[in-house]
Amino acid sequence: MAVDIKPEELAPELARAVNVHDRGAWRQSKHLARAAKQAADRRLADYLMVDSDAHHYETESWADIIKYLEDPVLRHRAENALLGGRPNLDMTHGAPTRQNVYGRILTDDRTYFRGEREESGKPADLAMIRNEMNAIGLDYQVVFPTPMLSLGMHPDHQIESALSWAYSRWMTEELLPQDDYIKTMVYLPFNDPDACERVIDHFSDKPGVVGFEVTSARYKPVHDDVYMRIYAMLEERGLPIAFHAGFYDWERFNVGMNKFISVHSIGFVIYNLIHMINIVINGIPERFPNLKIVWIESGLAWLPFLMQRLDNEYTMRTSEAPLLKKLPSEYMRDFFYTSQPLEIADPEGVEMSMEMINAETQLLFASDYPHWDFNLPCTIYDLPFLSEQGKRNILGENAQKLFKLGGKRPKPAPTVTGNGH
């Protein structure tokens, strides 16, 4: 269990810009101070460190994003929603949630960087991301939006296509050009295959783009023929596709659960589980053998279950999966997975899960920072059963190869800064 840190206990370089009278700044800085201390204690500066899944709250820069909406009617709607203080509910179809336990768990209390934005004229998101990277000791960070993760369930498919296009233009034109070490996987509006093709054509060669992502909370079957052209386009370009997990509060099976812990335990797994079954059983890896597929933010515990279950079913009904040339689990071992949230409460289970997915070549470290259940690199570094090279692979070198990244960046010693106001 982490020991609480008091302001006076921080080394000066970790606390130099923290205004301890600002509750939000201090709570945030405590998390990053612990991260910086862990990185220094473990000499993680000697490792190539890639965070394959981190987040920002795009609504902090909503006014800058919605100016890229091409439809003037939607842009007007978004502008008025912003003036009314409700961009999430009106545009991103956010659902009511108990995720922050009514303030007990830090989720998006990061507004203290707004002052830095006002002083520099740069996006607040840039300062936040750089701060996280320096504290955790990262060389690269792959960043995703947060409220937009719900767009796959938006009742109006036009909103997903329009808003994801605007966001991706803002990200690639205003944010990524300012830092060579911040990366993204561009949002694919999967409910509109034609729009996906346009997105791939436009953003594939943009600096900082290392692939494309699908938000997993959605109903359209990923093996539908309408997606084959999309898979082919990504395979031709050598760019991975990622399925980023998410939950949906209004899903029928969630209605019977009275605790968020119940919803979270299955909600961040179920859509990826369904999509993976459809991809494997319908032979997508055989049709597109060079397509790299990544599964994000579902942890690892579900994978041994699904491997065993699918292999058993397949051996009894091979006629229903005629494209397969090997067991379903063997295809699953060729996929890539991000580590967060690592189920560290069961060390033996973690070891078994990693062995079953060939983690030393297929697993990518992910923090999911700043969400309440984020992981730091120590969750990988401290595992006693991993080889030294295995740790290096998972912490950065696997992602370096997959995303075609450069080498280590000239980074400072792990520090954390804030701009309280």
Closest CA to 32 of 19, 44, 14, 47: 14
CA 35 to chain centre: 19
Per DSSP (E only), the strands in 188-292 are 209-215, 241-244
Q: Judging by DSSP bridges, how do beta strands 336-338 and 363-364 pair with one another?
A: parallel
What integer pLDDT is reported at residue 3 of this predicted model? 40
* Residue-level pLDDT at 89: 53
Q: Are strands 241-244 and 209-215 parallel, antiparallel or unpaired?
A: parallel
pLDDT at 27: 53
| Amino acid of residue 339 | S
**In which element (H, E) is residue 4 found?**
none
Residue type at position 386: L
Q: What is the CATH T-level fold of the domain 39-121+137-403, as seen in this structure? A: TIM Barrel (3.20.20)
Closest CA to 35 of 400, 416, 421: 416
**Per-domain boundaries in the chain:** 39-121+137-403
The pLDDT value recorded for residue 254 is 78
Threshold 0.75, pTM exceeds = yes
pLDDT at site 279 = 98
pLDDT value of position 137: 92
Cα–Cα dist 342/358, whole Å: 15
Taking the CA of residue 63 as centre, how many other CA atoms within 13 Å lie in the half-sphere pointing to its CB?
Answer: 6
Question: CA 201 → CA 82, 187, 211, 212, 233, distances in Å?
Answer: 30, 13, 12, 12, 9
Q: Residue 110's pLDDT is what?
A: 47
- Bridge partner residues of 294 (DSSP): 242, 336
What is the C-alpha separation between 279 and 216, in angstroms, rounded? 13
Strand partners, 187: 213
The reported pLDDT for the residue numbered 14 is 41
CA distance 311 to 309: 6
Task: Indicate the SS3 state at residue 374.
Answer: coil
What does the H/E/C string look like for 134-202? HHHCCCEEEEECCHHHHHHHCCCHHHHHHHHHHHHHHHHHHHHHHCCCEEEEEECCCCCHHHHHHHHHH
For 29, residues 6+ apart whose C-beta sits below 8 A from its C-beta are: 14, 15, 18, 416, 418
Where the chain has pLDDT below 50, the residues are: 1-3, 5, 7-8, 10-26, 102-105, 107-113, 115-116, 419-421
